[in-house]
Structure formats: C-alpha cells, structure tokens
C-alpha cells in the first residue's frame, strides 16, 4: 500500500488531450507521477512516457463494472504517420484456451502520448447517439449471417473473434445457441410482416412447390407464394422450407401443402399450384382441391389449378436427350480429353484443323455434369472440329474415341434439339420480370419442333423425339389453357397469337382448339364478373366478411345478385373482354411492360384487370435465373443440412425476406444451394 501523504494533485495541462484524463486525477509524489482513477481510486503510472493505453484498458474494465456509458472513448486521432496501429494476433499456445490466443500486438514503434482511444460514432452497432449496443450488434450479426448464408458456427471461429474484438472491443462473443435465438426472433418478426402483406392483398395468390435435397439424400420441400401486388409489381415470397421424413409418401406432401395454406391463411386466396415434378400424382392435387373447396371456389372446374414448371420440363427433355446419347457423349468426352492430354497433341490437332480449313475460334472444353448447357456447348464445338477428329481417326492409332458417321449425324441432330431448348431456357433465365405471358410463344415453338422431329426417318432420332414429345404433351395438357389466356392478356397479341400458333400445331382442327381457349377465357371472366358484381371479395382476396362494397357476407340477397348478373348478360352489354379484344393490337416494337399496361388500364377494364393480375402472376417456371441449366434438384449446402429443421427453415425463409434490403444479395435462396 502506497503512502498517500505528500501527494500533490497536478493541474491538468493543455497537453492532456486524451479523453481518458476526464476519468483520472494526475498526482505527483516526490518525482513520480500517478494517475488515480476517479471511479475506484486505483493508482496507475501517470508519467508522460507511459502513454494512455494502460489507462484506457483499466477504464474500459472499470466503467463496464459500474455500467457507465463508454461511448466517449474514441479511436486514436488520425494523424498521418503518427497513428499507432494495434491489432489482435493469434498466439498458438496449446496450454491456453482459445480465448486466450487473442492478445494485442503493437505495430508502431512508439505510442504517442495523448492519443485518443475510443469508439467512433455508430461503430460496432451503435444503438443511437453513438452509444454502443450489444443487443443491436447481435441483431446485426444475425442479419448478416441470414443475408449472406454464412454458417452459424462462424461466431466460434477464432478469426471472427479477432476481427470483432479489434473492430469493437466492447462486443461480447456470442454463442451459437444465442445467435440461433436471435435468428429465430428475426424470422418471427419478418414472418409477421409477410403475413400482413399477404392478408391485405387484393387478388389471388399462387403457390409453387419445389423439391430440394442434400448430399446425404435428405428431402426438403420449398413452398413459395407468387402474386402481383397493389402497385402491379410481381412478387415472390418463400413461405416454408420443410424437411420431409425419409419415408415420406404422397400423402405427406399433400399434408405439407395444406398445412402451409392453413398456416398462412391462404385457402380462400389460392389461384393455382405449380409443381416442379411430373411425378406428382393426381391424388395429391385432388386432396388440395378438396381442402380448398371448403373455404372457396376452384375457378372453372380447376382447369387452371394444377400447373407444371416450364423450366423443369425443358430440363426433363434435355435429360432424355443426354441419356439416349450417353455412349456417344462418352466418346466425345474421350476425344476432347485426348486432344487436351498434352501441349504437343493440342498443337498437332490445331495444325490438322488449320489444314482442314476449320477457322473456328471456339476452344475444346470438357462439359460439367452439373450443367447441361455446358454439354450442349461441348457438342457444338466438337461438331465444328469434325473434320479434324475424322483425320485423327484415320491417321492416329492412339486415338480410340472416334465417332462413326452415324454417330456424327446423331450428334448434329441432338445438338439442334438442344440449341432450341438452350435458347428458350436462356430467354427464361434472362427475364427480370417473368410474367406468365412470356411463355406461350416459346412453348409453342418447342411443340412445333417436336412434331417435326418425330417425323425423322432415323429410327433412333424419331424414337428419342417421341419420348420427348410424350413428356411435353403431359405438360401441354395441364398448362396450355393458362399459357394461352396469359398470351391473350398481352395487348401486343390478344387472340391473334393463339390463332397463329394453333394453326401450325393443330392444322385442320385448329379452330376447335381456338374455340376451347375462347370459351375458357370467357368462362373465367364470368367467374370474376359474378364475384365483382356481388362484392364478394372474401372469395377472391381472402378478406374479412365485409366485401369492398360494404356488404355483409351473410346478405340474404347475394343469390339474387348472382341471378341478376347472369340473366342480364344477354341484354346488349359489352364486357371488358369484348372491349379489350375489339381495340387495335398494341405495337410490338420498343420496350413494353405488361404490368404497367394493366396498371394504367385498370379503370378501363376493371374486371378484366382483376383476372389479368391473377393470371400474369402465375409462376409458369420455378427455377431461378442462376439455375436454369442445372441438371438436377437444388442441393442445400452441408452447413445448413446439419441444422435443426426449425432453424434451417428460419434461415432459408428469412434470407428470402431480407434479401431485398441488400442489392448485392440475390433474392432467390440459391446461396444455400450448391451444384450436384
């Protein structure tokens, strides 16, 4: 214990500029200067040669114990060539715990006296007025993990702890269980926001069902809503990401979908369900329809209710091609490997190509099994070098992967098939606003080409085309009416595009099919007209018992309103559809935004615009723009597959909901996926 007699309190000089001196008295005893803490009276060295770092470190601990505000302790003054840099380094002493590895190391040769050390305003999750908030920083960390798909375990990484401690010394390390709880809180809060938006939505909502897997063959189902909001913007929200039991049956899938509808109160709002798989049975759809019929009507006898993803259809067709050509493609891969086996072989191949008059700028590259577009590009490139490969076949005994003339013809034909599919898939993936109207013409082109391919004189090619067309016909039977109605609702096409393509597809029976479409769109409009006339928004928007007309849902005369509407239809009234179709086609040149068109024309076509909102918001394709060419199901990454199912769903859904807040984050949850 030091003798406190003969101590002299020194007057603070102008040189004592550091904020820490606001918390210390500088005293002198004999020839020694001390700094006495005002909070706890502890004496520390106060000489000018000692600097202020030790005072700051003491003060941080002392104020923290007494719950004082430490926001005034600022970072060092930024003076050129005078700024001391102190960072934490990792010392690998195995006898210490991990937290003990982190210790400060000075990189400057000499710490200047009087440097201010503190937290900059707002640094490390300032809650307000520059004050540090552990809770706010913890929420920010959780949001960062959700947004960017980082593993939860990063909070235990030594490197992250070093970074966090240097960035904000007051930030307390967070346990995984704590960050999980924070992520769940964010999920619950954001879920309430999405629920509120969906419940107040005017119009129908569509549901997409997409199967996911993991490297350990676990199965998941991703359910998402698709709709056009009040501002006529196309929206998509992931609703659930559910882990399926390994022995799950079709009954379970229908139960999962029904539970989702009930959880989000969407039974009365559902317009259509789009599945990614062609193996979904009719029983699943029937159960969902039966459940829906208890709370709302299924429009036009459910003809528009069950849909299939166009992108998944294209992938299925491609896989048929690749499977049929498996042996030939293996030979082609062997040929490419042989050419690229050494620099000398590659150089000789280039010389042969030049002598054969091949001036292609394409480079031979092996395909990736995860992306079928790379296989298509490999086939296209190999075809350009056919002459060089044939020369190798005839003059190089070491080349044993050559194709026969017949196999070359198969390759050319299949590459032609894939070219069309590739171009259409690229159009789908490049569309920033994939409303339902963009799919009709593309799928009709596929249909027409399949009819032609089936006429091939080659039995192998005609058999392959027949298999592809059978798959397409299944899709067409379920989706053609929605596709056609969506095209009609495009003012650049109206009925004319349907008439043009159906004459090519159906020939002499085209008028019958065109009439089916015309009757379908009129029947659908009648359903919307009836509900609009009687003010029954509850059946369309899932609202409260009061419709927009202020009519009680129990109004005894609703039946009369419906009768009045039906019996008045033939009294020379002109429907929205009649007015719309009678007007000139909108010019097809220049930029065109169909959602802006219907937003502007809603007052002119009030009922037809209601129908357009629901039809155009139907997801005709599920795959995201970055996975249009994937060869298999999306695969969740290992760090997510090992999580608790509730946490996994929270991270997956919250990522989708928060992603719009950061421009650099892709809105689709593919950050959680990795290629097969």
Helix, strand, or coil (residue 382): helix
197 within 8 A of 205, measured Cβ to Cβ: no
Most confident range (mean pLDDT) of 3-17, 54-68, 353-367 is 353-367
Write out pLDDT tens, residues 603-658: 999 999 999 999 999 999 987 656 667 767 888 888 888 899 999 999 999 999 99
Whole-angstrom Cα distance, residue 331 to residue 402? 7
- Residue 28: phi, psi to the nearest 5? -120, 135
Tokens standing for residue 195: 């629920």
Cβ atoms within 10 Å, residue 514? 18
Please list the residues that pair with 223 across neighbouring strands: 209, 240
Whole-angstrom Cα distance, residue 475 to residue 306? 10
Which candidate, 416, 438, 493, 442, places its Cα nearest to that of 616? 438
Q: What is the mean pLDDT of the chain?
A: 82
2 within 8 A of 43, measured Cβ to Cβ: yes
Would the pLDDT of 226 be above 60? yes
Torsion sign (Cα): 457, 463, 468, 471: positive
pLDDT at 249: 67
- HSE of 499 in the Cβ direction (CA atoms, 13 Å)? 5
Tokens standing for residue 298: 């299924």
462 within 8 A of 480, measured Cβ to Cβ: no
Task: Kindly state the DSSP code that residue 112 receives in the 8-state scheme.
Answer: P
End-to-end CA distance of the chain: 70
Strands across the sheet with 32-37, in order?
7-9, 24-29, 32-37, 43-45
Whole-angstrom Cα distance, residue 435 to residue 310? 13
Torsion sign (Cα): 211, 216, 217, 218: negative
Tokens standing for residue 372: 């079928």
CA distances from 79 to 84, 115, 120, 333, 503 (A): 9, 10, 16, 62, 79
Write out pLDDT tens, residues 27-83: 887 778 888 888 788 888 887 777 788 888 888 777 665 555 555 554 443 333 344
Q: What percent of the chain has pLDDT over 70?
A: 78
Write out pLDDT tens, residues 569-590: 554 456 899 999 999 999 987 7
For residues 188-201, average pLDDT: 95
Q: Can you give the pTM of this predicted structure?
A: 0.76
Most confident range (mean pLDDT) of 226-235, 241-250, 287-296, 391-400 is 226-235
Question: How far is C-alpha 410 from the geometric centre of its chain's CA atoms?
Answer: 37
pLDDT at 98: 45
Whole-angstrom Cα distance, residue 321 to residue 467? 9
Write out pLDDT tens, residues 390-442: 998 888 888 888 899 999 999 999 999 999 999 999 888 877 778 999 999 99
Would the pLDDT of 310 be above 70? yes
Q: Are strands 219-228 and 205-213 parallel, antiparallel or unpaired?
A: antiparallel
Whole-angstrom Cα distance, residue 592 to residue 590? 6
Whole-angstrom Cα distance, residue 446 to residue 424? 9
Q: Are strands 306-308 and 270-275 parallel, antiparallel or unpaired?
A: parallel
Weakest-pLDDT range from 79-83, 318-322, 377-381, 634-638: 79-83
Helix, strand, or coil (residue 576): helix
Write out pLDDT tens, residues 520-542: 999 999 999 887 655 544 444 44
Whole-angstrom Cα distance, residue 297 to residue 289? 9
pLDDT at 52: 80
pLDDT at 47: 78
């Amino acid at each position: 214990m030091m003798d406190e007699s003969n101590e002299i309190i020194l007057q603070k000089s102008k040189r004592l500029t550091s904020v820490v001196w606001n918390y210390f008295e500088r005293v002198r005893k004999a020839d020694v200067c001390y700094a006495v803490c005002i909070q706890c009276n502890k004496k520390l060295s106060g000489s000018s040669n000692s600097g202020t770092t030790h005072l700051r470190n003491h003060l941080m601990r002392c104020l923290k114990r007494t719950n004082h505000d430490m926001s005034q302790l600022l970072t060092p003054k930024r003076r050129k060539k005078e700024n001391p840099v102190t960072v934490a380094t990792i010392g690998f002493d195995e006898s210490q715990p991990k937290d003990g590895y982190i210790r400060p190391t000075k990189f400057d040769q000499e710490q200047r006296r009087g440097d201010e050390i503190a937290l900059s305003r707002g640094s490390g999750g300032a809650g307000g007025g520059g004050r540090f908030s552990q809770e706010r920083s913890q929420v920010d960390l959780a949001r960062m993990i959700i947004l960017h798909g980082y593993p939860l375990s990063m909070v235990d990484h030594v490197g992250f702890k070093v970074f966090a401690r240097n960035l904000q010394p007051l930030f307390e390390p967070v346990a995984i269980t704590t960050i999980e709880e924070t992520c769940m809180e964010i999920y619950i809060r954001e879920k309430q926001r999405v629920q509120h938006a969906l419940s107040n939505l005017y119009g129908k909502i569509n549901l997409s069902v997409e199967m996911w897997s993991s490297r350990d063959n676990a199965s998941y189902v991703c359910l998402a809503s698709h709709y056009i909001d009040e501002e006529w913007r196309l929206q998509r929200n992931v609703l659930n990401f559910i882990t399926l039991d390994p022995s799950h049956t079709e009954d379970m899938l229908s139960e999962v979908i029904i539970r989702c509808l009930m959880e989000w109160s969407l039974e009365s709002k559902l317009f259509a369900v789009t599945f990614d798989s062609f193996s979904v049975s009719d029983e699943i759809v029937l159960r969902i329809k039966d459940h829906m019929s208890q709370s709302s009507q299924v429009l036009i006898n459910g003809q528009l209710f069950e849909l299939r993803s166009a992108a998944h259809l294209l992938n299925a067709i491609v896989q048929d091609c690749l499977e049929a050509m498996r042996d030939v493609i293996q030979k082609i891969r062997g040929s490419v490997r042989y050419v690229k086996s050494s620099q000398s072989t590659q150089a000789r191949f280039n010389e042969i190509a030049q002598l054969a008059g091949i001036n292609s700028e394409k480079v031979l590259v092996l395909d990736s099994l995860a992306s079928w577009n790379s296989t298509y590009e490999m086939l296209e490139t190999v075809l350009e070098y056919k002459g060089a490969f044939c020369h190798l076949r005839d003059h190089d005994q070491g080349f044993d992967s050559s194709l026969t003339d017949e196999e070359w013809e198969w390759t050319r034909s299949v590459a032609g098939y894939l070219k069309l599919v590739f171009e259409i898939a690229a159009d789908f993936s490049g569309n920033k606003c994939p409303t339902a109207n963009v799919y009709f013409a593309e799928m009709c082109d596929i249909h027409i080409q399949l009819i032609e391919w089936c006429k091939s004189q080659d039995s192998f090619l005609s058999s392959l085309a027949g298999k592809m067309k059978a798959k397409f016909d299944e899709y067409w039977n379920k989706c053609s009416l929605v596709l056609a109605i969506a095209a009609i609702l495009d003012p650049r096409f109206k009925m004319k595009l349907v008439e043009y393509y159906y004459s090519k597809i159906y020939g002499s029976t085209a008028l019958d099919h065109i009439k089916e479409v015309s009757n379908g769109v009129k029947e659908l409009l009648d359903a919307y007209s009836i509900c609009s006339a009687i003010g029954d928004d509850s059946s369309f928007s899932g609202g409260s018992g009061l419709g927009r007309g202020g009519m009680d849902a129990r109004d005894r005369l609703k039946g009369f309103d419906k009768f009045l509407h039906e019996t008045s239809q033939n009294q020379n009234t002109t429907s929205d559809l009649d007015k719309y179709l009678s007007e000139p086609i909108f010019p097809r040149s220049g930029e065109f935004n169909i959602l802006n068109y219907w937003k502007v024309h809603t007052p002119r076509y009030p009922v037809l615009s209601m129908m357009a909102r629901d039809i155009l918001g139907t997801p005709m394709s599920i795959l995201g723009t970055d996975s249009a060419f994937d060869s298999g199901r999306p695969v969740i990454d290992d760090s997510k597959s090992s999580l608790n199912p509730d946490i996994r769903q929270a991270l997956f859904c919250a990522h989708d909901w928060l992603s719009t807040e950061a421009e650099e984050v892709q809105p689709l949850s593919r950050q959680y996926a990795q290629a097969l």
